[in-house]
Structure 1
């Protein structure tokens, strides 16, 4: 018993001696059952008296010592020690005084002391329960009522059957007090165990067993007294002694951590109340068959147990319904009412379990394109409504061919049992066609596109995880290649997917650590034959891979919603560098590329104005380039942002002209200053007559619309001369210079042309300066 280690060495020695004496007394009590020993004890009554007194006094002393030595549950064990002390005092007084009187008085002081044991025992059990169960549910209360009522009903049948009301007033009261106290104790013990959740803690089990044995011994003694029959061998004395020993053992159990106090199995928690209710029912039936019936108290207690059991059953039914509802909700998407990712995976696992390898099955992952921009542009409420409409349309398109689920965000999954490659692709195309029809939302017609990845069992995996990985990887391929539907192919797809995710996480960390750098490519003004501007091109200075070019990480940043952070850093670096060059006498304009998602951010103009003001750079020194891709997004919103930027004095250009819609309508509507013709036309204008015609006509178009023409991708002198002849305004390309770090570019510029006087006044804000 670990509690002994808390005592001084001398105290431990005395305590061990006490336990040793207790073992000797327990053995001696068992020996008195033997006929030979029993015969000797009958002739030497003093030995039996000493044995009984020693047993009760030692039990009370050991429990009291435990309460003093160990702080945990001290109050409960002090109460138990007090109860046992009264019981021991009553026994000593009985043996020393009462039995020597002729006739022995009844009731006597011993009866009062014996009865005092019960309230202290009740209080001790209650305190132990409260220390272990701070909050008790209604079902636990009902279990306690069932257990207590059933135990009390059984005890009352034992104690009250044959009870007579003979004698004077106090003798009747005391005679009735004993069975009532034992009946209550039986109910308290079993009820407390039920309230504890039927926990299997050693201390609890031993205490209930010890006190229960004591009650059983009292019942046997009452039966002997009532019937006039006695059990040979003083078995009742032995049971009382064993009960005291078990209570002492319970008191000295090492405290168990909460994590080790094991609750009963769920089956026990359901079965025990049911068994107790059946016992109560059996008591009532037995009483109805008997001529004299049961004591009224027994019948009332049994009826109470049955009533509590009925209420408990109703609560259990409600709990089961609530649990089923909770399980359904845990597997259902709140927004769309579709199965969620958990149910999707469970269904797929179930379909794959022991599935014949020849039986086809397909898994499709559907991800909406640019859904984040819809949320950012129109708000989450409209985005949620769109998801609900998308879910309904997909459900109609899938029909009975498969199981549709929302996996999270704007991602959906479909399980297609029995679908081979051809059938699965046909269904995927049907899903895309359904989504591409416009959605009418709050007087706004939105067009939605999606990317679908498809994987097949068993080609791409025999379990849920592998199939979903392959389908997810194929979906990203479809998104990157803008092909709508992609079928998983090899393990390489998974490797690519892992690399993309790893790159994305490294990019997040790189943005935090400031790993982005800018290289600058000069733009030659053909009219002035001087470099008047540069284009800022972002690079990622990866700590392990070195320089990573934007085609690797910009698409990932766009999909992950990182373009806002990335663009902010690029603008900050570009304008800071522009300020440094101007202070050094190099009056260069800096061109920065914006993505289509940047133009959905209404806070962008304010941010640009703030950066220009902080660095003292005039707005005319900043050129912003956008692609024709804005027409695939919210063109009206982008136009408002561009107009605000242009009103500040920032110069705007359409980048990669000729690779997108190339619509004269949007050129007329967009507030832009420059056209930047894509390198695909410029690079071959000196050798391909068609390319030459496109370049020449585009220069004329730009001039007719009041715009400047910028040609990128100038690779040789012949192309440069043609562009000069066609009156192109600005050119850039490898023939002129590759993109360079700012220090190398500055040296290159100084060699090509002398710098002007340093711009010492450039720190004065000049946002509206053009």
Structure 2
């Protein structure tokens, strides 16, 4: 109502009446300023959200209102009014409060600001300040006392800073369009504009009290009040629109700053140096912002390429293969054939285990190159993962697909020369053809995968999917998976144990436990028949927990019978990715009354190298709980001294491939002996598996190996059969035995 009354008062028809009643305008001015400060203060006191910012704003408006009331009540009738006066101090006090309020609102909305956003803020603030300084400083002359000069300078400088801060804060907020932000910026911006108009009118002697400039100030206050009483809401503007605004506005502001510099170069005496400097700052920030944007675009392009490229072979990866297949199916004539092939190398794991992953990776690179050369321009080759490759033949029916697949097999069967080792590699290829074996990507991939497993199981090397139906191998795998789920529910897992011998004391120091699946119809199923399926189906975490429970229960029973044995459980990749593992293990130990020192956990080199950082974190938590850790199958993976130095492990377990022949093969003997020395130098124990005769046992004893196991000592047995054997050797057992659970 006060605002409407003020607009009515400045209408030409009301001039005569207002000239006779000047007190009305004074009351309107004081009322609007005081009411605005009171409403913003009420918002700050009554609503918790953004309270600090609005109390600061209320403080600034209160200073502004106090200055206005003092001016009208005391100074306006003086001729001339003093300058500077206490009213000037009150009006200038508004600015620090306004700056602080803006910064508090910005901090509440953006706790972290990236470097590009900082540059956007610098561009916006420098450009706004440049134009504000052009308005406020052009034609500014010094005169009067030192105090009057300082106050005269303070007003334009404060408004220049506020203009820069307003636009810069909007940029730093991510160009938000929520009502509270837009209204506040509009209100404070309009107040600065009114100040500029007032300064211009005052310099030219055209300012009229109670005129349109006073109305603009009042509207600015009203906008600030409305902004204060808005609730924080998510912006309704779409992300794409905000992205367009966020990219186009800095460009427009930089161009405006360039225009100001060009204008100043043509009219050097018109543009103040401050404006030129600020415009140059905006342009410099825009250049840096542009360089960062170019780098970001390049990085994004490279990331997209890498996301669709296999790092090892530089072939397209599974994602790009699937996207390409989807695109081909979308554009394909329903009657035009197309073939999908899946190529899987045979016995690749044996190569990795025997020669290490370094040579295995090199072999995959050579295989990729040879497959690409054999395929030529007839289709697309991709690495789907591990030792599995995908081939897309866009214009191939069954006959042509068989011909191409035969060519791939022929190419692979030539020997590969790798670091003085010649390897012969074979593969299994499964084919599925559109539309006979499916009309969508999922069906074609599934049928090709099932055909590949058929080729692998019957050793044919090449198989075509069944006409319009799932292969039996796929159904068998699904059946096995469901039976395994049921077996986990029914507790069908059992453990067999193989003793370990402490060569220093000649005592049995522990046992290695091996998991078996007691299938209700197939009998005893060994680990290679279900563990890989469990890993791919996401069941390894649950399976490992059951094995841990069985091992700890048996360890408790043995300790109750006077057999002071410890227990260890082998961890898989999925176990190391489980953040609750350490807590679960601690709870299980407490539940069975087994001390932490009695538990050993083992991981293979392959598991460690997949995610060394996460493995280190998880293993460190386990070790901090007093659990002993070991690297299993040492020597079959990367065998990197770097991870041995960094990982928190206590034992190395040397693979049987090196131990079994150390009595006849000088190279194996050298590897075993040097590995024992390495382990001891790292304050670790060495456990040798695969001891099959007395001669090997004597060699290991001669080389100071710590623990051994193998058929020469005992075959794996069920607990009820092994316990009497352990009791017979009770007198020779060490006080700190070791039990391990392996797959």
**TM-score tier (shorter):** 0.5 to 0.7
**Which runs of structure 2 are paired with 1:31-70 in the superposition (5 Å)?**
31-70=8-47
Q: Quote the residue 2:148 is aligned against.
A: 171
Q: Distance in 1 between matches of 2:400 and 2:301?
A: 36
Q: Distance in 2 between matches of 1:79 and 1:352?
A: 62
Q: Distance in 2 between matches of 1:760 and 1:390?
A: 50
On the 8 A contact 1:364/1:455 being kept in 2, the answer is yes
Q: Distance in 1 between matches of 2:51 and 2:518?
A: 71
1:562–1:646 CA distance, 2 compared to 1 (3 A): farther
Q: Quote the residue 1:186 is aligned against.
A: 163
Q: Structure 1 residue aligned with 2:413, among 429, 432, 436?
A: 436
Identify the range of structure 1 (352-361 vs 149-158) with the bigger mean alpha-carbon deviation.
352-361
CA RMSD of aligned residues (A): 4.1
Cα deviation code 1:145-170 (max 9, x no counterpart): 11011111111222222323243332
On the 8 A contact 2:660/2:691 being kept in 1, the answer is no
TM-score of the pair, normalised by structure 1:
0.65
Q: Structure 1 residue aligned with 2:100, among 115, 118, 123?
A: 123
Q: Distance in 1 between matches of 2:295 and 2:309?
A: 21
Identify the range of structure 1 (346-355 vs 244-253) with the bigger mean alpha-carbon deviation.
346-355
Q: Quote the residue 2:530 is aligned against.
A: 557
Q: Quote the residue 2:519 is aligned against.
A: 540
Q: Quote the residue 2:260 is aligned against.
A: 283
**Which runs of structure 2 are paired with 1:349-498 in the superposition (5 Å)?**
349-493=326-470, 497=474
1:302–1:231 CA distance, 2 compared to 1 (3 A): farther
Cα deviation code 1:577-624 (max 9, x no counterpart): xxxxxxxxxxxxxxxxxxxxxxxx99xxxxxxxxxxxxxxxxxxxxxx
1:158–1:550 CA distance, 2 compared to 1 (3 A): same
Q: Distance in 1 between matches of 2:208 and 2:324?
A: 66
**Which runs of structure 2 are paired with 1:87-166 in the superposition (5 Å)?**
87-166=64-143
1:39–1:500 CA distance, 2 compared to 1 (3 A): farther
CA drift at 1:108: 1.2
On the 8 A contact 2:25/2:210 being kept in 1, the answer is no
Q: Distance in 2 between matches of 1:344 and 1:233?
A: 74
On the 8 A contact 1:366/1:475 being kept in 2, the answer is yes
**Which runs of structure 2 are paired with 1:636-651 in the superposition (5 Å)?**
647=693
The residue matched to 1:326 in structure 2 has which SS?
Answer: helix
Q: Quote the residue 2:648 is aligned against.
A: none
The residue matched to 2:430 in structure 1 has which SS?
Answer: strand
The residue matched to 2:175 in structure 1 has which SS?
Answer: coil
Q: Quote the residue 1:208 is aligned against.
A: 185
Q: Quote the residue 1:738 is aligned against.
A: none
Q: Distance in 1 between matches of 2:728 and 2:418?
A: 44
The residue matched to 2:231 in structure 1 has which SS?
Answer: coil
CA drift at 1:182: 0.8
On the 8 A contact 2:450/2:471 being kept in 1, the answer is yes
1:103–1:377 CA distance, 2 compared to 1 (3 A): same
CA drift at 1:309: 1.1
**Which runs of structure 2 are paired with 1:664-743 in the superposition (5 Å)?**
none
The residue matched to 1:94 in structure 2 has which SS?
Answer: helix
CA drift at 1:105: 1.1
1:513–1:440 CA distance, 2 compared to 1 (3 A): farther
Q: Distance in 1 between matches of 2:459 and 2:26?
A: 99
Q: Quote the residue 1:306 is aligned against.
A: 283
Cα deviation code 1:518-569 (max 9, x no counterpart): 9xxxxxxxxxxxxxxxxxx98622xxxxx35789x99853864889999x99
On the 8 A contact 1:145/1:191 being kept in 2, the answer is yes
Q: Structure 1 residue aligned with 2:201, among 196, 199, 224?
A: 224
1:337–1:154 CA distance, 2 compared to 1 (3 A): same
CA drift at 1:291: 7.6
CA drift at 1:460: 3.0
Q: Structure 2 residue aligned with 1:339, among 296, 300, 316?
A: 316
CA drift at 1:194: 0.9
Q: Distance in 2 between matches of 1:121 and 1:238?
A: 20
Q: Distance in 1 between matches of 2:13 and 2:181?
A: 38
Q: Quote the residue 1:330 is aligned against.
A: 307
1:273–1:202 CA distance, 2 compared to 1 (3 A): same
Aligned length: 556
Q: Quote the residue 2:228 is aligned against.
A: 251
On the 8 A contact 2:178/2:235 being kept in 1, the answer is no
1:121–1:494 CA distance, 2 compared to 1 (3 A): farther
TM-score of the pair, normalised by structure 2:
0.67
On the 8 A contact 1:469/1:494 being kept in 2, the answer is no
Q: Distance in 2 between matches of 1:95 and 1:635?
A: 99
Q: Distance in 2 between matches of 1:505 and 1:436?
A: 37
Q: Distance in 1 between matches of 2:434 and 2:478?
A: 24
Q: Distance in 2 between matches of 1:204 and 1:760?
A: 76
1:763–1:50 CA distance, 2 compared to 1 (3 A): closer
Q: Quote the residue 2:214 is aligned against.
A: 237
On the 8 A contact 2:378/2:393 being kept in 1, the answer is yes
Cα deviation code 1:117-169 (max 9, x no counterpart): 11111122122222322222221111111101111111122222232324333
Q: Distance in 2 between matches of 1:60 and 1:349?
A: 63
Cα deviation code 1:433-491 (max 9, x no counterpart): 22223334444443332211122233333433332222222222222332211222334
The residue matched to 2:340 in structure 1 has which SS?
Answer: strand
Q: Distance in 1 between matches of 2:492 and 2:261?
A: 83
CA drift at 1:644: 5.5
The residue matched to 1:105 in structure 2 has which SS?
Answer: coil
On the 8 A contact 1:361/1:416 being kept in 2, the answer is yes
On the 8 A contact 1:395/1:404 being kept in 2, the answer is yes
Cα deviation code 1:505-529 (max 9, x no counterpart): 54266257432699xxxxxxxxxxx
CA drift at 1:335: 1.9
Identify the range of structure 1 (309-318 vs 371-380) with the bigger mean alpha-carbon deviation.
371-380
1:178–1:457 CA distance, 2 compared to 1 (3 A): same
1:491–1:356 CA distance, 2 compared to 1 (3 A): closer
1:41–1:502 CA distance, 2 compared to 1 (3 A): farther
The unaligned stretches of length 5 or more in structure 2 are 496-515, 555-602, 605-654, 664-688, 696-710, 713-720, 731-743
CA drift at 1:766: 8.6
The structure whose RCO (Cα within 8 Å, separation 6+) is larger is 2
1:30–1:261 CA distance, 2 compared to 1 (3 A): farther
CA drift at 1:99: 0.4
On the 8 A contact 2:383/2:390 being kept in 1, the answer is yes
1:238–1:465 CA distance, 2 compared to 1 (3 A): farther
The residue matched to 2:469 in structure 1 has which SS?
Answer: helix
Q: Distance in 1 between matches of 2:72 and 2:425?
A: 96
